Structure 1
Amino acid sequence: MLVKQGMKKVDEIIEMYEGRKSALIAVLQEVQKEYRYLPEDILMYISEAMDITPAKVYSVATFYENFSLEPKGKYVIRICDGTACHVRKSIPILNALRKELDLSDKKHTTDDLTFTVETVSCLGACGLAPVITINDKVYAKMTPEETIKILKEIREGEAK
């Protein structure tokens, strides 16, 4: 039943774009917004519903960095490791987050799917380095301590 409900939502998204093959990227973006990643069964469903080969759907989903085939947390934390941020100590921030959330360079998402931690090459805010984003909200001139403080605030908000 859950799958059928999920497919109903996917059908609505496809219908928003009138099933146009040229709207595949937009459809995938909307699906990812809904599920926080692109589940394989839904990619196959999109393939059938939009009459696009599974290889084409999968190649688009894997080509663009913003798409994820793995579940992501409710809060996606991106740490910039571009030159300016790296020089201004972004790695200690990354290490503090990994320690606090029991993550590693191989494990990016907490077991409860609350947090995902990713490094990115540049967030385009070099003058504010080191920078992190949490669900696209920018936090400037961060320290490991300040980052953990923000995490605790998020957790307290979740507990309410």
Structure 2
Amino acid sequence: MAELSFTEEELQEIERIKAKFPTVKAATLRVLWVAQNKYGHVEPEVQSLVAETLDLPKSHVAGVASFYTQYYKEKKGKFVLDVCTCLSCQLCGGYDILHHLEEKLDIEAGETTDDGLFTVNEVECLGACGYAPMLQLTNDVYVNNLTKEKVDTLIENLKNGKKPEFESMAMPELEKRNQAASE
């Protein structure tokens, strides 16, 4: 693997992050995000870069990275689809959505498509039970009230370079009522 490094701009961002915290250790989470955004993961080599940049023990950075599931400890697809299968999502079709994605992308949960575009994960509660079934796209946008058709549209849009923007978490019926009441 080529030697990893941060750009001058990234190092300046890291200095701004460090300045916000009382200790360098406290900046570890945020600097791991900088690294993951750059490399797409925080494999051991990336963790070492973070440790060296912050002048912290590698064991500390590895411990933080391994504790949080949002840090990818291995290469993932460009788009990571974290499908919630907790109770609320299960009851509303979370497993149906997961299995639809597996079939559509021809992979199992935890795998990445051959083209490197998509990784599908089955995850525990993402804290949006009232909008089930739902998924989170690469630790970012939630996509709520999923249907197979909505998932198909999402996949096609992502393939065409169109990421969804923040999606209102209000239920469609509530949105319609609120809009009608404001007119």
TM-score, normalised via structure 2 length:
0.72
| Aligned partner (choices 72, 83, 90) of residue 86 of structure 1 | 90
Aligned to 2:103: 99
Asked if residue 62 in structure 1 is aligned to residue 42 in structure 2, the reply is no
On the 8 A contact 2:92/2:133 being kept in 1, the answer is yes
| Contact 1:71/1:113 (8 A) holds in 2 | no
The two structures, once aligned, show a CA RMSD in angstroms of 2.5
Identity %, equivalent residues: 30
Q: Tell which deviates more after alignment, 127-136 or 62-71.
A: 127-136
Distance 1:106 1:30, change over 3 A: closer
SS at match of 1:7: coil
Higher mean C-alpha displacement, 111-120 vs 61-70: 111-120
What runs of 5+ residues in structure 1 fail to find an aligned partner?
Answer: none
Distance 1:40 1:46, change over 3 A: same
Q: 1:55 and 1:101 mapped to 2: Cα distance?
A: 36
Q: Aligned pair in 2 of structure 1 residues 156, 30: CA closer, same or farther (>3 Å)?
A: closer
| Contact 1:73-1:115 within 8 A present in 2 as well | yes
Q: Do residues 42 (structure 1) and 40 (structure 2) align?
A: no
| Other-structure match for 1:29 | 33
Gaps of 5+ in 2: 163-183
Highest RCO, 1 vs 2 (Cα 8 Å, sep ≥ 6): 1
1:7 paired residue number: 5
1:133 to 132, 136, 150: 136
Structure 1 or 2: larger helix share? 1
Shift of 1:12: 4.3
Deviation (angstroms), 1:124: 2.0
Task: Give the superposition deviation at 1:70.
Answer: 1.0
Conserved 8 A contact 1:96-1:148: no
Compute the displacement of 1:154 (Å): 2.2
Task: Describe the SS at the equivalent of 2:33.
Answer: helix
Q: Give the C-alpha shift of residue 13 in structure 1.
A: 4.7
Q: 2:81 matched to which residue of 1?
A: 77
Counterpart residue type for residue 125 of structure 2: C
- After superposition, the Cα gap between the structure-2 partners of 1:15 and 1:137, relative to the gap in structure 1 and judged at 3 Å, is closer
Partners of 1:145 and 1:81 lie apart in 2 by 19
Q: CA deviation at 1:149?
A: 2.7
The secondary structure found in structure 1 opposite 2:120 is strand
Q: Aligned pair count?
A: 155
Note if 1:145 corresponds to 2:139.
no
For the residue of structure 2 that corresponds to 1:33, the secondary structure is helix
